[in-house]
Amino acid sequence: MPTPEIVPLQPEGLPLSVCVIATESDAHYMLDLLRTIPNGSEVVVLWNSIGDVEEQTVHRKTKTYGNTVVRYYKTVKTKLHFANLRNECIALATRPWIMWLDADDRLMVHQHDFFKRLNEYPPGIGGLTCGCVGSQPMYTGSEFDDSLRYHVPTVRLFRNGYGFQFEGAAHEQIGWSIDQAGFRTAPCSLIVHHVGYEISADKMKAKLERNVKLLSTEYASCDDQRKLSLWSQMLARDSQHLQKYQG
């Protein structure tokens, strides 16, 4: 079993770093997210911009909310790649467990006590699968048709200090890295509510176009059959959804 790096934890804190990547246009989501983060956590927020300089950190700010420490960083990328952004963000975390979220995710406040018991998991459990739920308005062109409700099991929590890394330009995954390091993932009761698809037809179309472009690149460069299968499924799904917005 790999030996982890020593990760400090304040006595009054939780064994949890919440790692968030976002663009500065997502700032309006952040306050609502912070209201759902359990008190005593560490929160690492990586603001991303697209520019001419690769991975240039330009500022850091720290704020506190009760016993929760929030550290803001900013990075500039030449191109968008979600796994690279996630990995840059989790490298800044200092607590024994990491939970990755987006600015448009929300935790369930009644489940906060769960995070106090994270260190009770056996050493062989490297990651935890949570339920990600939400609704997505469905359109024909710009006309509203109906709402699709979804529940997607996702590895959202994992141990810090073992070198786990995300893979994938879009719909990025960390489960493969956990498996390759000799750990197992286990289901847990946590629910993450994602509000990022509850948007207008134009914004949803732009998201899907972005995903299809990134997934196409990932699919074309992949030579691992297991990963290729997932990228193929995600590309087909987002392409089919995108067709509904072409009217």
pLDDT digits (tens, 9 = 90+) for 57-87: 445 677 777 789 999 888 888 788 899 999 9
pLDDT digits (tens, 9 = 90+) for 76-125: 887 888 999 999 999 999 999 999 999 999 999 999 999 999 999 999 99
pLDDT digits (tens, 9 = 90+) for 207-245: 888 888 887 888 788 788 888 887 788 778 888 878 877
Burial class from Cβ neighbours inside 10 Å (0-12, 13-18, 19+) for residue 93 reads: buried
CATH of domain 16-243: 3.90.550
pLDDT (0 to 100) of residue 57: 46
Q: Is this model's pTM higher than 0.75 or not? A: yes
Q: Using the predicted structure, report yes or no on whether residue 247 has a pLDDT greater than 90.
A: no
Instruction: Please list the alpha-helical segments (H only) found in 8-68.
Output: 27-35
In the chain, domain spans:
16-243
Average pLDDT value for residue range 181-186: 98
Q: 39: Cβ–Cβ under 8 A, 6 or more apart, which residues?
A: 65, 66, 67, 68, 112
Distance CA 23, CA 35 (A): 19
